[in-house]
Structure 1
Amino acid sequence: MPRYRIVFMGSPDFAIPALQKLAKKHHICAVYTQPAKPAGRGMKPTPVPVATYTEDTGLALFSPQSLLADDVHQQLAAHKADLFVVVAYGLLLPKAVLELPRFGCINGHASLLPRWRGAAPIQRAIAAGDRQTGISAMLMDEGLDTGKLLARRACQIDDTETAGSLHDKLAALNAKLLDDVVMDIASLRAAATPQDDSQAIYAAKISSQEAEIDWSRDSAALDCHIRAFTPFPGAWCHGPKGRLRILRARPVAMERPQNAAAGSVVFVSKNALHLATGDGALAIEQLQPAGKKPMSVADFLNGQKLTNGQLFTAQAG
């Protein structure tokens, strides 16, 4: 069984399972992450999750601002790595870095490339209503997720899948696939296949503004929208008492009343709340008013009286 010298590059929680798995079989020469980022109310510099994990392992940790400087290239070359393994690192690898390791740089990406290249493949797949996604291992080049494919593994997107649950599922699948790919890197590298660029779709970075709920959309699309933006940044709207996030909802089999405005209450009881959509209604199951913890719809309704016709809108007022 080959034991390779690996430089691992990754930053978020998604990358940790792959680092853990590779460290059991190979020599991790160094771990590279993005630098600490401002976080929390005080906006204090906070290490990214992979950095926090690495500090507890005793592995060598580096967090340069970029990989463009000559001294960083020299530092990377000094590791004499067989492979660089990259998972959601967040910094571009210039050509000089890509050419350093003997077997090149491989990347684990959370989609079935070339579909959903880019920063937010998990959220985009759910929002688009995709029934399947997966992990792609590629041999990196200078483009954004454009390298030759080494292997892919698919997984289903369940009807109730959120970005959070799919993130965890794909993180585990990514670790398994990269473990297999590294073990067979010599033969897989020789057989790597170019991506079909004509099939490429880009997964742009998520913004809080686009997570706003447009109740005029149909119920199925809104269901996908809410699940795609849960837990972050959270699909949101304004209720009678201010802004809130809808965390869980489901389409209900009912026709939208003819005079009901999109986003209006069409059914309310002690523990149920249905809001009108473009083609029917959504049953709201869990939500989070601003400044409060997530709560069931029953707990939410216990704190205020709603009547048919009241609006949950995109804008305050």
Structure 2
Amino acid sequence: MPEGAFRTARPQRLVVMGTTGFIVPSLEHLLEVGHEVVAVYTQPPRPAGRGHKLRPTPVQEAAERLGLEVRTPRTLKDPEAQAAFAALRADLAIVGAYGLLLPKSVLDAPRLGCINLHASLLPRWRGAAPIERAILAGDAETGLSIFRMEEGLDTGPILAMRSVPIRPTTTASELHATLSRLAAEMLPEVVDGLAAGTLHAEPQPETGITYAHKLARDEGRLDFREPAAAIERRLRALNPSPGCWCEAKGERLLLLAGEVVDREGEPGTLVELPFTVACGESAVRVTRVQRAGRKPMTPDELQRGFPLPVGTKLG
């Protein structure tokens, strides 16, 4: 930690709970400012890749690198798991993109309760996929909310909130990284305020509630009858996962990036080379594409090995 950097005056016993890489910067920063992380909870390793080998979560990898105790229960509903959590005698639990339900006994176990790092301006986009849903909806801004957890879905009172813009070129991966860093920046002040008893939560507004339902894999299938602006947002929102795709000459193509252009034609038809496809309104000029089993490439590179003439219909 740089000389003169912030360091907490009240070290707390913390439990950190997460599965994706979203909470990793927060985990690292909490240690840097002087807190004690007594355990890290994450989901169990899952099969991945061609060999289906078990792969630990990004949170488990980070925790092991930092020399922290890692716990990977499949559920927190059974009494043994709840007793093990309570035995940690934590002051506070910090949750971010964990993916498991926390029963009331777990929520009540830490002295200061449990708080959640949520990637939206609550109550907008409660739920599993707030970053992607905000981009899909064409929102001009989103942000990071830190709230006290209760039994409802992201319904708890707000402890801190900051907004960030969603620019016309922002992808889900870029927004994920921005909000992950913002969470790490905001969190130490929140922990210190809770420990000192000087930070008080405000109830969420009762208006403006929307839900960010979990992404389904088939949401990546492009329907070119939609307006080009909606298609372009989908390319950014589903980057990198689950990805957007269409079919050409019986092969699946991943469309990684594109831009709206003023062209017209039968929706789903290539109207200009190397890869401009007509939509229900205007067209999308694809700027990055990937064939199955290949590396990402430009449309010009695609045309050299997989030529698609003007008039090609994409399925």
Q: Please confirm whether the aligned pair reaches a TM-score higher than 0.5, indicating the same fold.
A: yes
In the TM superposition, residue 308 of structure 1 has moved relative to its aligned partner by 2.1
**Partner of residue 234, structure 2:** 225
- 1:102-251 maps to which residues of 2 (within 5 A)? 102-186=111-195, 191-251=200-260
Task: Give the counterpart letter for 1:265 in structure 2.
Answer: L
Percent identical pairs in the alignment equals 43
**Partner of residue 20, structure 1:** 28
* SS of residue in 1 equivalent to 2:134: helix
**Structure 1 residues 139, 263: CA separation in 2 closer, same or farther (over 3 Å shift)?**
same
* SS of residue in 2 equivalent to 1:309: coil
Task: Give the counterpart letter for 2:244 in structure 1.
Answer: A
**Partner of residue 9, structure 1:** 17
Q: Is residue 298 from structure 1 mapped to residue 300 from structure 2 by the alignment?
A: yes
Task: Give the counterpart letter for 1:266 in structure 2.
Answer: V
CA contact (8 A) 1:110 1:121 kept: yes
In the TM superposition, residue 74 of structure 1 has moved relative to its aligned partner by 2.1
Q: C-alpha separation between the residues in 1 aligned to 2:41 and 2:69?
A: 9
**Partner of residue 6, structure 2:** none
Which residue of 83, 98, 101 maps to 1:92? 101
Number of aligned residues: 306
Q: C-alpha separation between the residues in 2 aligned to 1:115 and 1:98?
A: 23
CA contact (8 A) 1:273 1:284 kept: yes
CA contact (8 A) 1:249 1:282 kept: yes
CA contact (8 A) 1:137 1:152 kept: yes
Which residue of 72, 78, 81 maps to 1:63? 72
Which deviates more from structure 2 when the two are superposed, residues 38-47 or residues 84-93?
Answer: 38-47
Which deviates more from structure 2 when the two are superposed, residues 140-149 or residues 36-45?
Answer: 36-45
Which residue of 307, 310, 313 maps to 1:311? 313
Query: Which 5+ residue runs of structure 2 have no aligned equivalent?
Result: 1-8
Q: C-alpha separation between the residues in 2 aligned to 1:49 and 1:129?
A: 29
In the TM superposition, residue 70 of structure 1 has moved relative to its aligned partner by 2.0
In the TM superposition, residue 66 of structure 1 has moved relative to its aligned partner by 1.2
Which residue of 278, 281, 296 maps to 2:280? 278
Residues 251-295 of structure 1 deviation map (CA, whole Å, 9 limit, x = unaligned):
0133x1xxx310101111xxx321101111111100111121111
Calculate the TM-score normalised by the size of structure 2.
0.93
Runs of 4+ in 1 over 4 A off after TM superposition: 186-190
Q: Kindly report the root-mean-square deviation, in angstroms, between the aligned alpha carbons of the 2 structures.
A: 1.5
Calculate the TM-score normalised by the size of structure 1.
0.92
